[in-house]
Amino acid sequence: MDGPAAQRSNLLTKRCALGADQDVPHSPASQASRYADAMASATNSSKSPAPDPDHVDRLSRFITGLPKAELHLHIEGSLEPEMLVELAARNGVELPFADVEAVRAAYSFTNLQSFLDIYYQGAAVLQTEADFYDLMKAYLVRAHADGVVRTEMFFDPQTHTERSIGFDVFMPGFLKAMADAETEMGVSTGLIMCFLRHLPGSAAVETFHAAADYHDQLLGVGLDSAEVGNPPENFVEAFDLAAEAGLHRVTHAGEEGPPSYITGALDALGAERIDHGVRAEEDPALMDRLAMSGIALTVCPRSNLELCVIDDLADHNLKRLADAGLTITLNSDDPAYFGGYVAKNYLDTALALDLTEADLVSFARNSIDATFASAEQQAEWTRSLDDYVDGFGLSG
């Protein structure tokens, strides 16, 4: 990775000069300007001293080899600038960017909505079964290189069906790539179909029915997109249908939305995992409930930084959440847009919060335990984790 993207991926701080509730234009030029401001600010404002290069190298190698699961990954959010430009050319899609570097410069955000604007724009280049295969396969290769043994990935069908790209196009592409990755690399996979919460609950129900031919190949359903003003209670019918079909249920909540959205996800939707959930800390009773239940939070540190949920990774509350007894996992969310895949999230968070190898092992263990895989598969991955940790002379 070269140029601005390489620099951005190494930042542990970000200046979010524009408030999360401000409505601003998100042209490539304005995003590039905000990116330059963030770069200049971060150079002067990092709370953490520069880490020892030897320590970083050793920690990076430890993290990369650590068997882990990734539980919060949007496959459309793994669309790297190079692939975006390639697919645009393949499919005759005109982009508002001159080249790959212009795309990279546009990958700078002030809040969730500013990210979603370009996320949906980028998805427009995905048009054929081969496109979806290439997207999925590229992510799984990267995940395998990061030590991922199991990944339970989100996809957004409504992003495609509203462009008249049907399930019969993207599902075969996804599923073939997943099968090939398991055969070639041994990566275990599952697909979670997300409903877009900025659309009405009735649209989620329609999407669930439209996916009927593939229900038996889905792991579960989820809820994503713009959180604020779109509470989980709007999607009860779709989640009830998923439960009746034997599918798992997860929900994005407590990222930009209030803690009450986490409670609503648990009570109204029967969520078995909470995606993000960092604002749970604002509600002591909810914290106790999450700690007692063991329901995992799929936390995405670099995403929280890039979307201005926090200004500095050193301010992230995931260690406090873990110390309070919550089950925390680390994930990459939309890695092409947020400066790093899952190993990068482990590394940057460890450096920012001064985490120990034992802390990282605990997060990896949580990730395996929180999968929806069989008990036998979980036990196999846990043995691999224990063997790896023993090889480093650590106590897991």
Per the annotation, the verdict on 182 as an active-site residue is no
Listed residue (104, 95, 155, 166) closest to 125, CA to CA: 95
**Residues 347/56, Cβ–Cβ less than 8 Å:** yes
**Residues 351/319, Cβ–Cβ less than 8 Å:** no
Helix (H) or strand (E) holding 373: none
Listed residue (57, 59, 43) closest to 11, CA to CA: 43
Which residue has tokens 């790896």?
Answer: 388
Active-site entry in 227, 255, 256, 306: 255
Q: Are strands 68-70 and 273-276 parallel, antiparallel or unpaired?
A: unpaired
Q: Residue 116 corresponds to which amino acid?
A: L
Start-to-end Cα distance in the chain: 33
Beta carbons within 8 Å of 125's beta carbon, 6+ residues apart: 79, 84, 87, 88, 91, 93, 95, 131
Radius of gyration of the chain (CA): 20
Listed residue (378, 367, 300) closest to 77, CA to CA: 300
The number of residues making up the chain comes to 396
**Residues 192/222, Cβ–Cβ less than 8 Å:** yes
- Residues marked as catalytic: 255
